Amino acid sequence: MKQRNFYVYIMTNRSRTLYTGMTNNLERRVYEHKNHMTPGFTSQYKINQLIYYETTNNVHVAIEREKQIKGWRREKKIALIESINPQWRDLSEG
């Protein structure tokens, strides 16, 4: 049986609005965000840059981690992002 991966990710836009989400297909989900395929927050704020993600093979761990990060203050989220991506580069490019 193939191992499934789950991703907790943070995306942003030009004005650095943060969005945290969880998915089992990061490539597809980022594509959906970039092309505004889902109405709502990410379309409204043009959230289109992947700046952080982590992987787990346990869906429950991913759900808990997403909730944990969503509950953090902005400063703590920024510290997490900058711990692996200090320039806030779009990780989905390349």
Contacts for 53-56: CB closer than 8 Å, 24+ residues apart = 53/7, 53/8, 53/9, 53/10, 53/26, 53/91, 54/7, 54/8, 54/9, 55/5, 55/6, 55/7, 56/5, 56/6, 56/8
| DSSP element (H, E) containing 35 | none
Q: Is the pLDDT of residue 65 over 90?
A: yes
Mean pLDDT score of the chain: 96
Q: Is the pLDDT of residue 59 over 80?
A: yes
First to last CA, the chain: 29
For residue 2, name the pLDDT band (cuts at 50, 70, 90): confident
The pLDDT assigned to 23 comes to 98
Domain range list for the chain: 6-84
pTM (global) more than 0.85:
yes
* Mean pLDDT in residue range 77-91: 98
Question: What does R_g of the chain's alpha carbons equal in angstroms?
Answer: 13
CATH number of 6-84: 3.40.1440.10
> What is the CB neighbour count within 10 angstroms for residue 26?
20
How do residues 14-35 score in pLDDT, each as one tens digit?
999 999 999 999 999 999 999 9
